Amino acid sequence: PSIINIRFISTALPDSWYKRLPPIDEKDIEEKAIKGSGPGGQAINKTQNCCQIKHIPTGIVVTCQQTRFLEKNRFLARRQLQERLDIYYNGDQSLVAQYKREKSERKEIKRIETKKTLEKKRAFKSEQDIYSNSNINDKLLDKTIE
């Protein structure tokens, strides 16, 4: 299989969801510690704090350089690989896709509730304005009659 190099954008799954992902078989991965790159100057460029993991059967390559520490980056890279493999094998039924759907559904429900609340506030305010305007008109009418 050809090498699939995916730029990973974290979905930030909750920790409890990672337990539901299938574990990675150690014999199926190839791990390398490579020198970092990007902003940070000499400190980042001379240390091997970037972790690159390749899943041999699928060819998926994940590179992680989110922290200064190699061990933490190894942990994060393995999580990213788990997510990528879940998406690769399960597609729309993957845990990542399920989480994104749940999140967007919650967001939509919240938007609808906010819209309803705003509509109630507008209705109440217009009632108050009508009531206060009628009181003012009554007072003005009383003054003109006197």
Q: Are residues 15 and 54 in the same domain?
A: yes
Residues 64 and 126 in one domain: no
Q: Other CB atoms closer than 10 Å to residue 74's CB: what's the count?
A: 16
Confidence tier at 18 by pLDDT (50, 70, 90): confident
Clarify whether residues 88 and 123 are in a common domain. Answer: no
Q: Are residues 19 and 88 both part of a single domain?
A: yes
Residue 27 lies in a domain: yes
Q: Are residues 24 and 83 both part of a single domain? A: yes
Structure letter (DSSP) for residue 24: P
Q: What's residue 92's pLDDT?
A: 87
Does 99 map to a domain?
A: no
Tell me the pLDDT tens digit for each residue of 20-47: 888 888 999 999 998 887 777 777 777 8
Q: Do residues 11 and 83 touch, judged by C-beta distance below 8 A?
A: yes
pTM: 0.64
Task: Quote the number of domains for the chain.
Answer: 2
pLDDT at 1: 47
CA 95 to chain centre: 13
Are 52 and 120 members of one domain?
A: no
Same domain as 112, residue 44: no
Same domain for 63 and 39, yes or no, is: yes
Residue 103 is assigned to a structural domain of this protein: no
Separation CA 31–CA 51 (nearest Å) = 7
Is 116 in the same domain as 144? yes
Same domain, 77 and 126: no
Q: What residue numbers bound the domain in which 48 lies?
A: 4-93
Asked, for residue 122, whether it belongs to a domain, the answer is yes
* 102 found inside a domain: no
Q: For 94-123, how does the pLDDT look when each residue is reduced to its tens digit (9 = 90+)?
A: 888 888 899 999 999 999 999 999 999 988
Would you say residue 131 lies in a domain? Answer: yes
